[in-house]
Amino acid sequence: MSTSVYTPGQVAEETGFSLDTLRYYERIGLLERVGRNAAGQRRFTQQDIGWLGMIRCLRDTGMPIAEMLRFAELTREGEHTIRDRIALLEAHDRRVEAQVANLREKQAALRNKIGYYRGVIAETPCPAAG
Amino acid sequence: MSTSVYTPGQVAEETGFSLDTLRYYERIGLLERVGRNAAGQRRFTQQDIGWLGMIRCLRDTGMPIAEMLRFAELTREGEHTIRDRIALLEAHDRRVEAQVANLREKQAALRNKIGYYRGVIAETPCPAAG
DNA sequence: GCTTGACCTGGAGCCCGCTCCAGGTGGGAT
DNA sequence: ATCCCACCTGGAGCGGGCTCCAGGTCAAGC
């Protein structure tokens, strides 16, 4: 299984992005032009897959595509942008933290509500026996 | 300050929903027809605000509007739907839990990446002194 | 030799959740 | 009396992020 290249289907399978999404990401430049075989079909490298893993992390944590594009750009520009990349990721990390905090807060409120409903039921044990 | 009704502006202020969003929620039935004054202007009750708080929790935790509508419906149907409401909220709670877990997992990966970048910088302390 | 199916392209379409607009009404402060 | 501003309605528009489609090209298995 040390195939050094992967077909679109394999990549979709592995990354969880749909074929259309993979093409879309390439179109908008989030994915650098992917290599092709003689017939013009995409052949992804291990590197491409690694980058897609990064994209997956950023998307799943709610980074908008515009910002991922910025990050992609920085990455392409080379090592001298590493500080900028760190700054970008750290800012994002803070947003993720806030996101989790908000989720937890709202979740607590919802659990409260569930508890309240349970109490209501406890007072009226049998639905139609009031 | 114990105004028993609130203007749209006050409600927007307090709930963080925009005026348009409040009207939109009423239009689609997420908010039951809000009371009006003689001139036809909305006057929200304390109850409306409570409900909006619930909506806020559900939205912020990613519940789609269609499902909030379902919840609203159940609520309007009365006490005999409490078990269904609990079920709905519990299912949602599980999704929220999964959401947080995924965020945490991806966040850890991103922090890893930041750590990696830091390592790269440590090896090349001065940007142009390679 | 033919079918099947994975893939290609460019472009249109879709869903969600708002957000904005035009044109109009009322009501409170000065 | 006047001004201004908050509010009203119905309906159109928008931004993000895909997703689908038509029409076509290879490549391998039967």
Cβ pair B11, B44 in contact under 8 A: yes
Give me the tens of pLDDT residue by residue for chain A, a chain 130 residues long: 446 899 999 999 999 999 999 999 999 999 999 999 999 999 999 999 999 999 999 999 999 999 999 999 999 999 999 999 999 999 999 999 999 999 999 999 999 999 999 999 988 766 554 4
* CB A7 within 7 Å, strand C: yes
Please report the residues numbered 7 through 66 in chain A whose beta carbons come closer than 8 angstroms to any beta carbon of chain B. Answer: 53-54, 56-58, 60-61
Nearest to A71 by CA among B110, B126, B112: B110
Predicted confidence at residue A125, as pLDDT, reads 66
Task: Identify the three-state secondary structure at position A20.
Answer: helix
Rounded to an integer, what distance in angstroms lies between the CA atom of residue B56 and that of residue A106?
8
Amino acid code (one letter) for B103? L
Positive/negative CA dihedral, B75, B77, B80, B81: negative
Set of chain A residues whose Cβ sits within 8 Å of the Cβ of B108: none
The larger pLDDT score, comparing residue B51 to residue A126, is at: B51
**What does the angle CA A21 – CA B68 – CA A111 come to, to the nearest 5 degrees?**
105
B79·A120 Cβ contact <8 A: yes
Assess whether A28 (CB) lies less than 7 A from strand C.
Answer: no
Share of chain B above pLDDT 90, in %: 90
Alpha-carbon distance B68 to B88, whole Å?
10
pLDDT score recorded for residue A4: 86
For residue B125, pLDDT beyond 90: no
Please tell me the predicted confidence (pLDDT) of residue A18.
Answer: 96
Q: How far is CA B35 from CA A32, A107, A130, B50, B75, in A?
A: 55, 30, 32, 15, 18
When pLDDT is averaged across residues B95-107 and rounded to a whole number, the result is: 98
Set of chain A residues whose Cβ sits within 8 Å of the Cβ of B51: none
The verdict on A95 touching B (C-beta cutoff 8 Å) is no
CA distance A48 to chain B (A): 16
Please write the tens of the pLDDT for every residue from B76-88.
999 999 999 999 9
Q: Hunting for tokens 């992804």 — which residue is that?
A: A44
d(CA A125, CA A57): 46
Q: Is the pTM of this model over 0.85?
A: yes
Residue with structure tokens 């659990």? A111
Q: Which of the nucleotides lies closest to B40 (Cα–C1')?
A: D8
Q: Residue B130 — pLDDT band, cuts 50, 70, 90? A: very low
Query: For residue B1, what pLDDT is reported?
Result: 45
pLDDT class of B3 with cuts at 50, 70, 90: low
Q: Is the dihedral of CA A17, A88, A96, B119 positive or negative?
A: positive
Q: Is the shortest CB-to-strand distance from B10 to strand C under 7 Å?
A: no
